[in-house]
Amino acid sequence: MAIYTKKAQPTKNDLYETPTTTLDMILDHLDPKRHLIWEPFVGTGHSTRYIKSRGFSVTNGDHQDFFQQSLPEKDPEKDLVLISNPPFSVKRQILLRLTELGFHKIALLLRAHVLFTKYFQEYCSHHQVQVIPLSLHSFLSSSPSSRHQAVCPPGLYILFQ
């Protein structure tokens, strides 16, 4: 079972599986021979399985709880890139933790309103950030028995460098 810090407690509703077409938007620009994917928010393993099926090596980190993870070991042949649809309820803490680790090759799927938050604007003043809008955005239901799509407010992929 994952251990969560008090400040970074995710909510029950944080499991939303990422549609494969949304993952493709980033994976299409990467190369399995040159990139190692770090996907720390595994959930049911849906996104990890899909990324692997596209030929990429994936690490989920050295602890079930992202906040207890250290940076994955470097592969001299590959660049490490974090690709994730993170638990939205702790997105600010995730950015803070990645800053603490000094890691900035990140593609995070987030909701559009993040752009207007103080912490995001603060982050942008120190790092290069690219935003890819997703106008029609839907997640897969967390219940495998009823895989309906849950349409969300406009989302974004935010690429931090």
Ligand X SMILES: C[S@@+](CC[C@H](N)C(=O)[O-])C[C@H]1O[C@@H](n2cnc3c(N)ncnc32)[C@H](O)[C@@H]1O
Instruction: Catalog residues that contact ligand X under the rule CB under 6 A.
Output: 2, 4, 10, 14-18, 40-43, 46-47, 65-67, 85, 87
Rank residues 49 and 127 by Cβ distance to ligand X and give the closer one: 49
Cβ-proximal residues to 18 (8 Å cutoff; 6+ apart), any chain:
46, 47, 85, 109, 139, 140
What DSSP line would sit under 93-124, residue for residue?
A: HHHHHHHHHT---EEEEEEGGGGGSHHHHHHH
HEC secondary structure over 67-97: HHCCCCCCECCEEEEEEECCCHHHHHHHHHH
Q: 20-27 and 46-53 helices cross at what angle (nearest 10)?
A: 50
In this complex, which beta carbon is closest to ligand X, that of residue 67 or of residue 103? 67
Q: Which is nearer to ligand X, 33 or 113 (CB)?
A: 113
User: At its nearest, how many Å lie between ligand X and the CB of residue 115?
Assistant: 19
Query: Minimum distance between the CB of residue 63 and ligand X, rounded to whole angstroms?
Result: 8
Closest residue to ligand X, Cβ-based?
43
Q: Minimum Å distance from CB 40 to ligand X?
A: 6
Complex with ligand X: residue 53 or 125, whichever CB lies closer? 53
Q: In the bound complex, what is the minimum distance in angstroms from residue 139's beta carbon to ligand X?
A: 7
